Amino acid sequence: MGRERLKDKNIVITGASGGIGAEIAKLCAESGANLVLLARSIDKLELLQKDLQQKYQVNVSVFQLDVSNTDQVQEVFKQIFAAIGQIDILVNNAGFGVFREAHAATIDEIKGMFNVNVVGLMACTSMVLPKMRERRFGHIINIASQAGKIATPKSSVYSASKHAVLGYTNALRMEAVDYHIQVTSVNPGPIATNFFNIADEKGTYVKSVQKFMLKPEYVAEKVVDSMLTKTREINLPRWMNMGSVVYVLFPRLFERIGKRVLNKK
Ligand code: NJP
């Protein structure tokens, strides 16, 4: 799909220092968009900034931001608006998971996942919504997960956080429609990124899902293709989403028959 519509648009991406965030940034820059890249690792953001500016002659600003620090979110978004005027697209991508059974998850891990994946995403969204509503224009893309549709053993907390993201995103979409603001959720299965260095310490899950692991470049392509379109949800791989449809219809049967498949972590 042609991406000319992204030329000169201002796109903000959280969690842009690596993984799918960095890949989304590359494709947006290639399409002529101006970028604001956010993450905690400012050194990585500065390297990416240099690379994209040199290759594509677009404006790229970077800000250090821990999205779980809501005071910092407010401060950084004020600076962004002062620097670039308006935000056309926000990609809420920052997130992490720790795969552990519910009884073993520590309070710090629980708060950590919710503060980044849920509160941080909502805080960033609330910073852009008023201006998008005023302009009656904008697109908010929330990176959720297939884990937001089907919870599996060892992902109770992570799944709960992504279920929260999907609930928020679905309500937001209905609130935003009259203001011509598009809202898209992205629900991928496993993607080959650094995510698993934190989520799957022992590498058990990575080993068992290796054969259908998605490439970050592929996920990024789908996300960028959806920008400024009316795409409601992106589900990858598509067959995995069929599972969540069956799950809604026959939950008891699905949990019983799918036990082995769902127990990969
Ligand atoms: O992971 P990774 P992905 N404040 O670890 C940033 C979801 N997802 O690209 O702060 C601000 O390579 C971190 O930057 P830094 C997943 O839940 C993934 O796979 O510098 N930023 C880095 O740029 C997440 O929402 C899979 O450490 C923070 C980025 O987030 C999204 O995809 C499957 C931060 C993470 O890059 C991107 O993850 C799925 C904070 N407090 C959903 N904490 C998968 N990989 O399998 C982290 O269904 N970041």
Which of 20, 158, 161, 264 most suits a substitution to test ligand 1, by most atoms within 8 Å of the C-beta? Answer: 20
Q: Return the pLDDT at 47.
A: 98
Q: How many domains does the chain have?
A: 1
Q: Return the pLDDT at 259.
A: 73
Query: What is the domain extent for residue 162?
Result: 4-262
**Which candidate, 128, 113, 94, places its Cα nearest to that of 24?**
94
Please state, in angstroms and rounded to a whole number, the distance separating the CA atoms of residues 238 and 222.
Answer: 12
10-residue block means of pLDDT along the chain (265 residues)?
Answer: 91 98 98 98 98 98 98 98 98 97 97 98 98 98 97 94 98 98 97 93 86 95 98 94 91 83 75
Cα 195 to averaged position of ligand 1 atoms, centre (Å): 6
- Reading the block at residue 15, the tokens are 């969690």
Instruction: Write the residue with the smallest CA distance to atom 22 of ligand 1.
Output: 15
CATH classification of the domain holding 18: 3.40.50.720
Q: Which atom of ligand 1 is nearest to the CA of 143?
A: 25
Q: Return the pLDDT at 1.
A: 58
Q: Return the pLDDT at 139.
A: 98
pTM listed for this prediction? 0.97
Q: Return the pLDDT at 14.
A: 98
Q: What does DSSP say about strands 181-188 and 233-236: parallel, antiparallel, or unpaired?
A: parallel
Q: Return the pLDDT at 162.
A: 98
Q: 216-226 vs 19-30: helix axis angle to the nearest 10?
A: 50
Q: Return the pLDDT at 211.
A: 87
Asked if residue 41 has its Cβ within 6 Å of ligand 1, the reply is: yes
Does 56 qualify as catalytic in the annotation? no
Q: What angle do CA 148, 217, 12 make, to 5 degrees?
A: 70
